[in-house]
Copies of this chain bind each other. A is one copy, B any other.
């Protein structure tokens, strides 16, 4: 089973499913055309409600990460590269501003945070090879 969720996490389950798929795409584990489990199968496998999986898949479809095709299931569609770039950068800047602000009040230096970024890039991109 590729997809696992933590029912006790504070992160909403539908977002966990969505995030695992996006991570799979980012790391290259999921490629264009790869099939995802059916909504029913995944719901049963994870022990969550149909609606929850449906919501996750709908999100992924809206974001362009999957195509849901009637009677042929859901398949991965690596989205075109530059989409929504500005929106993403704005959101990322806002999130990073919050992190940096907190970091400064704790005397956590910028190297610590940039180190995290390099580490995660390497982990995800490393899987691609």
Contacts and interface: CB of A to CB of B under 8 A. Distances in A.
Contacts of A106: 81-85, 88
Interface string A76-106: 0011111111111100110111111111111
B100 A124 contact: yes
A33 interface: yes
Contacts of A108: 85, 88-89, 92
A110 interface: yes
Contacts of A102: 22, 26, 88, 92
Contacts of A120: 93, 96-97, 100-101
Interface residues of A, number: 61
A101 B123 CA distance: 10
A92 B114 CA distance: 11
A44 interface: no
A23 interface: yes
Nearest to A98: B19
Contacts of A63: 62
